[in-house]
Structure 1
Amino acid sequence: MTGSDDAILEFLNDTGAGHNYQGIANNFEDRGIEISYKTITRRLPKLKEANLVRILPGKGKYYAITERGEAYLEGEADLRDEPDPSQ
């Protein structure tokens, strides 16, 4: 996990909504969070592989946090046996 991963998960958790890459990047820029669009597009698929985010059904790729992602943020998910999403 990276600091960017935590920021993405916290944003998705705080908003309670699904966002696409550009939506997250725009919100980060507006909030002064210095995580690039390129980093977001690289990290979200890794977070999906780790089942920390999911793609909402419908048109386009809108990512939302999963229950496992919420548990991770609360310190309740043990990710030690999972593949490292930072790879």
Structure 2
Amino acid sequence: MTQADDRILETLADSGLVLSPRVLSANTDYSRHYLSTRLGNLRDAGLVDRIDEGLYRITDLGRAYLEGDLEADELEE
């Protein structure tokens, strides 16, 4: 997990919206390309769902991670 991963999850959780890498990029200090890569990793770990092509939302597992109920080393790589 990276600082960007935390920012992505926080932004998705705080907004309550389905967001694209482009929208996330406009609201963070990260490029769209980098966020796309990180979102793929978060999806593989079960922390976000891809709703449609390029649209993501946080999962219950992602919320548990943000709330401290789940440690990064407990996530599948």
- TM norm. shorter chain > 0.5: yes
2:57 to 47, 64, 71: 64
Alignment pair present for 1:75 and 2:31:
no
Residue equivalent to 1:31: none
RMSD of the alignment, in Å? 1.5
Instruction: With the length of structure 1 as denominator, give the TM-score of the two structures.
Output: 0.79
Residue equivalent to 1:26: 26
Measured after TM superposition, the shift of residue 76 of structure 1 is 0.3
Residue equivalent to 2:43: 48
Work out the percentage of aligned pairs sharing the same amino acid.
Answer: 35
C-alpha distance in structure 2 between counterparts of 1:4 and 1:79, whole Å:
14
The alignment of Structure 1 onto Structure 2 pairs a total of residues equal to 77
Say which structure is richer in strand. 2
Measured after TM superposition, the shift of residue 83 of structure 1 is 2.9
Residue equivalent to 2:33: 38
Measured after TM superposition, the shift of residue 72 of structure 1 is 0.2
Measured after TM superposition, the shift of residue 79 of structure 1 is 4.0
Measured after TM superposition, the shift of residue 78 of structure 1 is 3.6
User: Computing the radius of gyration over CA atoms, which structure comes out larger, 1 or 2?
Assistant: 1
Unpaired runs of 5+ in structure 1?
29-33
Instruction: With the length of structure 2 as denominator, give the TM-score of the two structures.
Output: 0.88
Unpaired runs of 5+ in structure 2?
none
